[in-house]
Structures are given as structure tokens and as C-alpha cells.
Structure 1
Amino acid sequence: METLAFKGRRPTHPGAVLREMVIPELKLTQVELAKALGVSRRTISEIIHEHRPVTPDMAMRLGRFCGNGPRLWLNMQQALDLWELEHRKAKEYGKIKKCA
């Protein structure tokens, strides 16, 4: 089966990057980050605890705030989403035959 995502380890959730790098580096609280992004503290908490994905809207907010653009955040989320799908539905996808 052709792989859609990474074969090895699970890609890093963008929330882990926020939790381990961005928040400590900027010495922010979740409340301060939420306020800066215009979202609720609960939203930030769910993302940094990896219970919520980074949506395109959140990627725009994070990209603007961090100065690195939305694509970095979306690419991290997409890599994770594809990896999880590939591992969760490998048998199902394996049954699909190539058209040519």
C-alpha cells in the first residue's frame, strides 16, 4: 500500500509545539495567549493538551501572532491527521485498488 503520511513515529501535534516551545519562550499563560489570539482559554487548553485540532482559522491566528504564517501550523496538523487516518484505517484503505 502506498503511504499517505509518515510510516514511522506519530507527527507532533501543533498543540505540543505551543505547549513546549511557544508559551514558555514567550512566558505566556494560556489566558494571555487566548486573549492575544481572540479565542477562549478553553480553546487554547484543548489545543495544547492535544484534544482539539488546529483549524485553518486557528492557523491564521497562530501564524499572525508567531509571525510564521498559517501554513506551518496547517502542515503540522495535516501530517498528524493523515498519519492517524492511515494507522486507524489501514485495512480499509488497503482494499482500494488503483484505477490504472
Structure 2
Amino acid sequence: MRKPISPGQYFYETYIEEHGLLKPDIARHIGITEKALANFIGGTVPLNAELAYRLAKATGKPARDWLNMQTNYELWKNRHLENLKIDSIV
């Protein structure tokens, strides 16, 4: 499986970089701090439902799509856990 792009990287490349937008302006526009935006873009803070709704309003891409992107990225990052040896509890 190929590494999926993180939602933050996707947002940066597709919306900010592609359209020549400024991060401080985007942060203000969607109602978050510049630091929160930088952490999201940099991948140090994962996307949550609130940010997904803010991005959905700003981009027209549904919140569910943003959250699915985050879920796929998290599953890929943690794929090594598929081989855990844990007995069933039932």
C-alpha cells in the first residue's frame, strides 16, 4: 500500500500552495490560530471533527471526506499494529 497523504499536506498543496494563499490569512478565515494551522499542515496535530467542518465550509469538500482522509492516514501510520497478538475477550 502506498503512503496516503495527510489531510494537512493535502490542504496545503491543494488549496494554499496551488492558489498562492497566505497561511495567516487562511487561519483567520477559518477561525483558528496560525499555530493550529501550522501544526495541522505539519502533521503534528491530527484533523478533528471541528476542523473538518471548518475546512468543509472553506473548500466545499465535505467534512466526512476530510475525516476519511485522516482515518486512512492514521490506519496507514499504524498498520504495524495489524500483527498484534491479542486474544479475543469474548
Q: TM-score, length-normalised on structure 1?
A: 0.79
Query: What is aligned with 2:54?
Result: 61
Partner of 1:25: 18
Higher Cα Rg, which structure: 1
Q: Structure 1 residue 27: deviation in Å?
A: 2.1
Distance 1:9 1:24 in 2: 23
Normalising by structure 2, we get a TM-score of 0.86
Offset of 1:72 from its aligned partner?
Answer: 1.4
Shift of 1:11: 1.3
- Give per-residue Cα distances to partners, 1:17-72, cap 9 Å, x unaligned: 11211102332111011001100000111111111111111000001100112011
Give structure 1 regions of 4+ aligned residues with deviation exceeding 3 angstroms.
96-99
Q: Secondary structure at the match of 2:78?
A: helix
- From 36, 39, 46, give the equivalent of 2:32: 39
1:83 — aligned with what?
Answer: 76
Unaligned runs of 5+ in 2: none
| Runs (5+) with no aligned partner, structure 1 | 1-7
Counterpart of 1:91 in structure 2: which amino acid? N
Q: CA RMSD in A?
A: 1.7
Q: Of 18, 42, 45, which residue of structure 2 is paired with 1:52?
A: 45
